[in-house]
Chains A and B, each alone.
Chain A
């Protein structure tokens, strides 16, 4: 048995294997994780300060890809403040500072004891936040 729901994470990662690009994106951000080579590209279409559409191209481990899947399925309608709040919540969950009250994040609950992998999970959110900040 794994500490993480590997099968579930793998299924989530498969959802973002194929790039989904936004030709008319308003903002683009790209970040990588030098430790393991994860690369995440996020494109956002903004309407009234909120995310209206998202594009992505991710080449990473399954944790990073699963987190990307979680991001792209939940980001529509958020702004930088609400995404920052979700990011902070995810980070505090990973560091064991708060309980998980977001069912979507429960999949990463077992990662608490794997600090070296936290940056993989956080990378897509950091990239989206970077893009949102660039949209201001």
Chain B
């Protein structure tokens, strides 16, 4: 069976639009935001038109429909992650909020002398919450370095994990190099010292279902907008016994059973971690996107993305003096490529490509420690999703040729 990218593209109506100057759009900034799946859009509209109400509060018809849809969305997300129970799924506004939720919960648990390990390859979202928490608590922030090729220095890992380590918070897949973390080694060493493991799955979830049980981790986060769903919704997953111990991140409506002037009794998880009105329509749409994704053959998609990746690499390697960041050989990776050119600023490359309808990202990709470790200030990044095709890659390479021509 071959992969039918045309059928996938039909599920993304926004890909058919023209870009600046009326040229065809070639969207290759999927590591920042993917386009919205038709199924997610349909579910969003269906919810807003037929079930719009608040959840877990009212008893009228629409309130019940809203609550049912929201509960069903939690089940869908749990299924996508292979969670043991949908009660382990907390809806947030995004991966950043999910990580901050955990950091807030850790505030009362960390003390001076404790350690938190992150890596130099983290997105700021999985770096700054722990940096601030350690500054506030007196705990030490340890940063696992990277090797010159941009991969994590796994050989150094044992020297960075002591018995004072409480948490290892690490990316599942780098948003700059595309390299996938050796999670098994991380989990093994964490368990040996009794530390917990948070995986930042922001770059992973768009590439197919995740099995949190098989990974052996404690916490997982991802964002809806990076896996074909709307903005404003994300997921925090935790093993149930850990979730039961987490204090509320925020307090307010919808997460409490009893309140008087001096006390409050909070609802049980996951509701106690979802204060206020949650992003209901967004969660319903996220669930629809994930349900649709589970109908796809991700082995075929991985092969398709790899073919496009190889085509892009081959094209880029014809450009004189280009530097491709990260390891490109058989290391486990997803299909994104960051690159630099001497004397051409990444934003200028992105500008010339943008004029040709090709959407790329230029900058530090919210990963300044990683770029600094690789001795670059900023880079251009092309990131490939399931709906990209050969025409996108060829337009990108032709655009790069033109960019180099006019900028040098």
Contact = CB atoms under 8 A, between A and B. Distances in A.
The answer to whether A and B interact is yes
Interface of A: 2-4, 6-7, 10, 34-38, 59-63, 113-114, 117, 120
Interface in B364-402: 364, 377-378
Nearest to A17: B343
B348 interface: yes
Interface of B: 20-21, 345-348, 351-352, 354-355, 362-364, 377-378, 406-407
Contacts of B352: 2, 6
A133 B353 CA distance: 38
B347 A61 contact: yes
Given A2-B355, A37-B364, A63-B347, 12 more contacts: A2-B406, A4-B351, A6-B352, A6-B406, A7-B406, A10-B407, A34-B364, A35-B363, A38-B345, A61-B346, A61-B347, A63-B348
B23 to A, nearest CB: 12
B377 A37 contact: yes
A6 B355 CA distance: 12
A35 to B, nearest CB: 6
Given A60-B345, A62-B348, A113-B20, A36 B363 contact: yes
Nearest to A3: B355
Contacts of B407: 6, 10, 62
B358 to A, nearest CB: 14
A10 B348 CA distance: 10
Contacts of B20: 113
16 contacts: A3-B355, A4-B351, A7-B406, A34-B364, A35-B363, A36-B347, A36-B362, A36-B363, A37-B363, A61-B345, A61-B346, A61-B348, A61-B351, A62-B345, A62-B348, A113-B20
Contacts of A4: 351
Contacts of A37: 363-364, 377-378
Given A3-B355, A113-B20, A117-B351, A36 B406 contact: no
B294 to A, nearest CB: 36
Contacts of B378: 36-37
Contacts of A113: 20
B175 to A, nearest CB: 16
B123 to A, nearest CB: 15
A30 to B, nearest CB: 15
A120 B355 contact: no
A88 to B, nearest CB: 24
Contacts of B348: 61-63
A6 B354 CA distance: 14
B76 to A, nearest CB: 35
B30 to A, nearest CB: 18
For the complex of A and B, the 6 pairs showing the least CB-CB separation, nearest first, are A61-B345, A37-B378, A37-B377, A36-B347, A61-B347, A6-B406
B351 A36 contact: no
A59 B378 CA distance: 12
Contacts of A10: 406-407
Nearest to B406: A6
A36 B363 CA distance: 4
Nearest to B377: A37
A114 B363 contact: no
Contacts of A63: 347-348, 351
A114 B347 CA distance: 12
A64 B109 CA distance: 47
B355 A117 contact: no
Nearest to A7: B406
A37 B364 CA distance: 7
Contacts of B362: 36
Contacts of A6: 352, 406-407
Contacts of A35: 363
A41 to B, nearest CB: 15
Given A35-B363, A36-B363, A114 B351 contact: yes
B342 to A, nearest CB: 12
A37 B377 CA distance: 6
A113 B351 CA distance: 12
A117 B406 contact: no
Contacts of B345: 36, 38, 60-62
A117 B347 CA distance: 9
A35 B407 CA distance: 20
B211 to A, nearest CB: 36
A106 to B, nearest CB: 18
A117 B351 CA distance: 9
